[in-house]
A and B are shown apart, each in its own frame.
Chain A
Amino acid sequence: MGITTIVFFILSAIAVMSAIMMVVSKSPVHSVLWLIAVFFTISGHYILMNAQFLAIVNIIVYAGAIMVLFLFVVMLMNLNVESEPMKNYRIQLAGVVAGGSLMLVLLSALMKTDKLMVQLKDGDVGLIRQLGRVLFNDYLIPFELSSVLFLSAMIGAVVISKRDK
C-alpha cells in the first residue's frame, strides 16, 4: 500500500459518494454542487495518473464553465425542493435495478480482463508537450472542425433562447 494507492482509494470513495449524493439530493443546487465535487475528484485521479493537461482542462472547463452554466440556469429558473418533479417509487426502483444489473454486467466483463497495472506518476503521455504535438500533427483537422462545432453550437444556443421574442 503505497501512498498513491491510499490517495486513489480515498479519491474514489469521495467520487462515488458524491455521485450518489448528486443523484439522491432533492434540491438541484445541491446536486450541482455535488457534481462539482465529483469533477474535482476526477481531476485528482488525472493528476494521480500524471495526465496534468487533462486535469487542468477538466477543472477549467467542467468545474469552471459548465457547472457555472448549470448553476446559472438553475438559479434563473428558481428551482427548489418544492417544485422538483419526482417520479413514483416503482419507476425509481426499476431504474435502480436496471442500473445495478448493468453494473453487474460491466463488472463481470471487466473481471475477466487481464490485470495490468496503471502506470502512475511517471510517463510523459499526459504532458502538454506530448499532447500538443499529437494534437497539432495527427489531429489537426478534427481540432479545426471542433472550432466550427463550437461556433454552430453558440449560434444555435442564441437562436433557440431568443426565438419567442
Chain B
Amino acid sequence: MLFSIGIIGVLIRRNAIILFMCIELMLNSVNLLLVAFSKMHANGVAHANPSLASDAQVFVFFIMVVAAAEVSVGLAIIVMMYRNIHSVDINFLNRLKN
C-alpha cells in the first residue's frame, strides 16, 4: 500500500546536504511502513497481548530520537566542513582518500 513513498526516499542520492534530507526522508518512510504494518497485524496480535501491538510505534519513537541526534551532529559536521572549504560539494571529500 504505502511503500511507494519509501521507495522514492531510497531513489534519491544526488546533491550535497540534500543527501541529509534524503536520509531523513528514508527514515520517515520506514517509520510509516512500521506504523502501517503494526496496524495491519494489530487485529491478530491485540487479542493475545495488547502491549505487543504497540511495539512498532515505540520503535518509531526511538527512530525519531536517533534521527534527531544524528541530524544535530551531521549538521554540525557540515557547518564545520563549510567553514573550512567554503563549499558543500561532497566530491571535495574525495581528497580524504589520500
Q: Which residues of A contact B (CB under 8 A)?
A: 12, 15-16, 19-20, 22-23, 28, 31-32, 35, 38-39, 42, 45-46, 49-51, 53-54, 57-58, 61-62, 65-66, 69-70, 73-74, 76-77, 79, 83-87, 92, 95-96, 99-100, 102-103, 106-107, 110, 116-120, 123, 125-126, 130-131, 133-135, 137-139, 142, 146, 149-150, 152-154, 156-158, 160-161, 163-164
Given A42-B5, A106-B7, A153-B72, A85:B87 Cβ within 8 A: yes
Instruction: Give the A-B contact count at a CB cut-off of 8 A.
Output: 218
Q: Is the interface of B mostly helix, strand, loop or mixed?
A: helix
Contacts of B70 in A (CB 8 A): 153
Contacts of A53 in B (CB 8 A): 57
Given A12-B2, A22-B21, A84-B16, A99:B54 Cβ within 8 A: no
Picked from B14, B41, B73, the residue with its CB within 8 Å of the CB of A95 is B14
| Cβ contact within 8 Å between A19 and B14 | no
| Cβ contact within 8 Å between A85 and B24 | no
